[in-house]
């Protein structure tokens, strides 16, 4: 049996026995068009107008005109589809109506746009993930990894100035936790007036300045910074103790007994607020050692000299 | 409250109209429903349409009616997602992000089936509910939602839905 592609008109032959009554779906080997083929439709199309069975009523005129293409079937009624008489070619078209080429091209372009946008913006997704992880680590006090992750995130999104400042800030916290005060001071000065007040950049700057003053044995500056910090945090036992520490340094340097008294007074206030914190006791020991020995040593040196703690001659 | 003629909104968000009609036609083709006529976009009311043969299967009717809701919503999320991070997380206003958001939200805006779709769905659901088809039962509240959503478009619900899907959903999930 002869078959013709409704799209490109390419002809071919098919074994009639292989076509079921309900029809068969075929694909054109030339243009790859899928179409539906039924014997009945071909037979109807092939039946001349004068070959209608005698005695049968003549079909209505509108049933002989295809509602799709307007083609006339020469007296033979077309099959109906959705209440319309349509020719075989139009019926196939309605059943397998293809999407227009511009729709296919548009959707291909949309797909390309989505994929390329995901690739293009992957750096933002990466930065977002790193920021989340950095936040978790910072909450646990792991400034080393947090700082590294935030620096990496800032590298992914260089146009985000806030993220750049955050990366420098976290690195500053890391330096401060490592007693690298000069580097911390540089970082925190960069962040000054660029972050909200909740980040306490001003107080961290004072701490970094105290550290650099201690390292350079500039105890006047150390005392001035400690006073400023203590005035801002009257209820923080460690900051009050740092004021005592500054007085103790100055006492160790000058031997002025008034300074010793002020150091002891500050330490008493701090201890009252400390709630028996173990790390506070370590700090207290260092201050008392400084007051009794008039020797200023760093925290690391103190730990090295007194690995199992230091006992003062008399307590406060 | 801004009142802008629907035809102008359809013009400004034409990709959504096209995707809506493509989704109708796609589900017609997937379920073997002959498509008699289709208009993907025009400057008129309705802005697009698909004329298909009568459907005698409820599941097919449900899919053809609700198909645009699924396709448009999904595409809205997928298209807006790459723009979400630079725009919402980092506050960067790149033209590329604006384009993606316009495209995604336009498509999301046209996700809701029309009242005509709801009418067809309701008539089929009435017949199918006798056989306790769960989709038919679900269709009744769905039809109410579709009608409400179409009414609330005067309060920009369609626009809010697009923004909610494109920017709100990722913010909620991440």
- Of the ranges A58-67, B99-108, B134-143, the best mean pLDDT one: B99-108
Task: Note whether B18 contacts A: Cβ–Cβ < 8 A.
Answer: yes
A101 touches chain B (CB under 8 A): no
d(CA B118, CA B103): 26
d(C-alpha B23, C-alpha B67), whole Å: 6
Q: How many CB pairs under 8 A join A and B?
A: 70
As a whole number of Å, the end-to-end CA separation of chain A is: 114
Tell me the C-alpha distance between B77 and A118, whole Å.
Answer: 13
pLDDT for A67: 84
Residue with tokens 């959705």: A82
Report pLDDT digits (tens) over B24-83: 999 999 999 999 999 999 988 889 999 999 888 899 999 999 999 999 999 999 999 999
The pLDDT, as a whole number, for residue A34 is: 62
Interfacial B residues in 130-169 facing A (CB < 8 Å): none
Give the DSSP letter of residue B133: -
| pLDDT under 70: residue ranges of chain A | 1-62, 313-316
Assessment of whether the complete model's pTM goes beyond 0.80: no
User: Residue B85: which of A81, A114, A128 has the nearest Cβ?
Assistant: A128
Burial-class residue A103 by CB neighbours within 10 Å (0-12, 13-18, 19+): middle
Give per-residue pLDDT as tens, A113-169. Answer: 999 999 999 999 999 999 999 999 988 888 889 989 999 999 999 999 999 999 999
Contacts of B81 in chain A (CB under 8 A): 118
pLDDT of residue A43: 41
Looking at residue A10, what is its pLDDT?
Answer: 65
- Residues of B whose CB is below 8 A from A128: 85, 89, 174
Distance CA A228, CA A207 (A): 10
**Collapsing DSSP states into helix, strand and coil, what is residue B123?**
helix
Largest CA distance in chain B: 55
Closest chain A residue to B32, measured at CA = A95
């Amino acid at each position: 049996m002869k078959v013709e592609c409704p799209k490109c008109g390419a002809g071919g032959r098919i074994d009639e026995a292989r076509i079921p009554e309900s029809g068969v779906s075929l694909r054109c080997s030339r243009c790859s068009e899928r179409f539906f083929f039924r014997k009945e439709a071909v037979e109807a199309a092939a039946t001349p107008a004068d070959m209608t069975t005698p005695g049968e009523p003549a079909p209505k005129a509108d049933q002989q005109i295809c509602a799709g293409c307007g083609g006339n079937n020469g007296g033979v009624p077309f099959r109906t589809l959705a209440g319309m008489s349509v020719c075989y070619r139009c019926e196939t078209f309605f059943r397998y109506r293809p999407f227009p080429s511009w729709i296919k091209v548009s959707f291909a372009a949309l797909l390309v746009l989505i994929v390329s946008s995901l690739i293009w913006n992957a750096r933002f997704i990466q930065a977002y993930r790193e920021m989340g992880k950095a936040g978790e680590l910072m909450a646990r006090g792991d400034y080393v990894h947090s700082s590294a992750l935030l620096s990496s995130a800032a590298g992914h999104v260089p146009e985000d100035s806030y993220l750049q400042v955050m990366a420098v800030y976290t690195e500053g916290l890391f330096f401060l936790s490592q007693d690298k005060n000069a580097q911390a001071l540089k970082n925190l000065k960069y962040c000054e007036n660029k972050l909200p007040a909740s980040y306490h950049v001003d107080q961290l700057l004072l701490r970094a300045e105290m550290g650099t003053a201690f390292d350079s044995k500039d105890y006047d500056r150390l005392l001035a910074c400690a006073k400023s910090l203590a005035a801002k945090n009257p209820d923080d036992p460690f900051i009050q103790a740092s004021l005592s520490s500054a007085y103790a340094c100055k006492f160790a340097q000058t031997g002025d007994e008034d300074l010793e008294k002020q150091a002891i007074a500050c330490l008493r206030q701090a201890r009252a607020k400390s709630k028996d914190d173990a790390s506070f006791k370590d700090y207290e020991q260092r201050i008392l050692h400084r007051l009794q020995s008039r020797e200023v040593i760093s925290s690391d040196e103190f730990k090295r000299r007194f690995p199992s703690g230091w006992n003062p001659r008399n307590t406060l | 409250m801004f009142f802008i003629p629907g035809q102008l909104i359809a013009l400004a968000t034409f990709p959504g109209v096209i995707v809506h009609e493509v989704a109708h036609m796609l589900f017609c083709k997937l379920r073997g429903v002959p498509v008699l006529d289709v208009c993907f976009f025009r400057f008129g009311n309705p802005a697009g349409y698909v004329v298909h043969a009568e459907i005698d299967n409820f599941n097919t009717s449900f899919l053809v009616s609700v198909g645009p809701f699924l396709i448009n919503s999904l595409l809205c999320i997928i298209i807006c997602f790459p723009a979400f991070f630079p725009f919402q997380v980092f506050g960067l206003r790149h033209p590329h992000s604006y384009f993606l958001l316009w495209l995604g939200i336009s498509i999301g805006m046209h996700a809701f089936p029309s009242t005509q779709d709801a009418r067809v769905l309701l008539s089929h659901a009435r017949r199918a509910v006798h056989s306790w088809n769960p989709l038919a039962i679900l269709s009744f509240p769905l039809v109410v939602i579709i009608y409400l959503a179409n009414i609330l478009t005067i309060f920009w619900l369609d626009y809010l839905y697009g923004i909610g899907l494109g920017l709100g959903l990722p913010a909620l999930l991440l």
